[in-house]
Chain A
C-alpha cells in the first residue's frame, strides 16, 4: 500500500534541496522580466517618438518565422522592413503578398523593424514577452514560500531544523 506520508516527506526534502536553485531562479526571472519590459518599452517609445507612418506593400510572408517583409519607398529608393507578427498573429492570415498597408517605420540607420500602424495598440500593449519568465517566477517563488530557510543565511544562525 502506498504510504502518502512518506512520499510527502520525500517531496518536502526534495523541495528543500531545490530551494537554493529556486531562489536563483526568482532572481534571474525578475532580471529577465525587467530587461524584457525595458526593451519593449524602449521599442514602443522609439516608434511613438521617431516612427512615421508610411504606405507599404507586403513583399513576402514567412509564416515559419512569424515574419512579414514589407517594401516601401524612402528617399527615391525601395526600403524593406521586417514586421514581426507575434504582436498580432492574425496578420499571417489577413495579409497577402502584394497587399497594401500602412506601417510605422523608424528613420534609416535605426533598424529595419516596422510596426503595423492599424494594430499599433496591440503592439504597445503586448505582454507576451513576460509569459515564460512569469511562469518560471511563479513556480520558483512557490518553492521559496514552502522552503525559505536559505534566505536567512547570513542574517540568522543557519540551522534549518530550528527555522
Chain B
C-alpha cells in the first residue's frame, strides 16, 4: 500500500471510530443531522471541514514531497505501532467498555444477514449452495422467524439473534479478511478509505463476538437468564421491523449488489461490508 492510500486508510479508520463513538454516546447520525439543521451547524461543519481539510493537506503534502509512492508495509515498526494502538483502542473502548458498539434493530440485523448470504451465494457454484452457505443461512432463518412472529421476543431470544448477527459479521470477515490488500501496490485512495472504515467496524464486532458468545452460553443455566435483559436494550432495539420495508430494503440491496457485479465498481466483499456498516449505523432505531 502506498503512503497516500495508507493515510486515507487511517482517515477511514478515524472517521468510523468517531462516528461509532458519537453514535454510542449521543445518537450518532441523528445527532449529526440535528446538529447540521440547528444551531450547532457551524460547529459541526467546522469540525468535519477542518478534519477533511487537515487530512487533504496531509495527502497533498505527501504527494508534493514525492512520498505518495512510498510503499508502507505491515512489517514497518511505525505501522505496527499504529495497529497496536488501534487494537488497544478497540479492545478498551469497544470490548471492555460500551463506548463504540452501535445499537442495532431488527431491520439492520436482517439486512446484514441477507447481504452476507447474497455474498456467499455469489461466490459459490449453485451445487455447493446448501453445503457451504449454511453458516450465512442459519442465522438469517432464525432472524426471519423473529420478523414473522409478531410477539415481542424475550431478551434471551434477542441475545441469540444478536449472536447470529455477530456470527454473520465473523463469517463476512472470514470471507473478506484480506490483509493482502495491505501489500497490494495498486490500491486506490477510495479503496484505502473504505478498507480503513471496514477494518474498525468488523474488527470491533469480531472482538466483541467472543465476549458475547460467552455471555449467551451462560444462559444455559436458568439462574443467569435474568441478567441478559440488563444489557440487551443497549445492543438491540426492541422495535420490530416491518416485513414490507424489510422486503424493499433487501430488494434494493440485492439490486445494488447486482449492479456492482455488472459494472465491477468495487469488490463485492467491500460493497457488502460497507452496506452492512451503513445499515447498522444509519438505519438505527433510537
Contacts and interface: CB of A to CB of B under 8 A. Distances in A.
A153 B211 CA distance: 11
B215 to A, nearest CB: 5
B230 A152 contact: yes
Prevailing SS type, chain B contact patch: helix
Prevailing SS type, chain A contact patch: helix
A163 interface: yes
Interface in A16-43: 23, 26-27, 30
Nearest to B207: A27
A149 B210 CA distance: 15
B260 interface: no
Nearest to B97: A154
A66 interface: no
A23 B231 contact: no
Contact of A148 (B96, B98, B227, B230): B227
Interface size class of B (residues with CB under 8 A): 10 to 19
Interface string A120-157: 00000000000000000000010011101101111111
A76 to B, nearest CB: 36
B220 A30 contact: no
Contacts of B218: 144-146, 148, 151
B97 to A, nearest CB: 5
A163 B210 contact: no
Contacts, number: 45
A144 B221 contact: no
Interface in B212-255: 214-215, 217-218, 220-221, 224, 227, 230-231, 234
A144 B98 contact: no
B224 A27 contact: no
Contacts of B210: 26-27, 30
A154 B218 CA distance: 17
B63 to A, nearest CB: 37
Given A27-B210, A155-B234, A146 B227 contact: no
Given A145-B221, A154-B98, A155-B98, A23 B214 contact: yes
A149 B223 CA distance: 11
A58 B96 CA distance: 54
Interface string B84-100: 00000000000011100
Nearest to A162: B227
Given A30-B210, A145-B220, A156 B215 contact: no
Contacts of B214: 23, 26, 141, 144, 148, 151
Interface of A: 23, 26-27, 30, 141, 144-146, 148-149, 151-157, 163
7 contacts: A141-B214, A144-B217, A145-B224, A146-B218, A148-B218, A148-B227, A151-B214
7 nearest A-B pairs in the assembled complex, by CB-CB distance: A148-B218, A156-B230, A155-B231, A163-B227, A154-B97, A145-B218, A144-B214
Given A146-B218, A154-B96, A156-B231, 17 more contacts: A26-B210, A27-B210, A30-B210, A141-B214, A144-B214, A145-B220, A145-B224, A151-B211, A151-B214, A151-B218, A152-B227, A152-B230, A154-B98, A155-B98, A157-B230, A163-B227, A163-B230
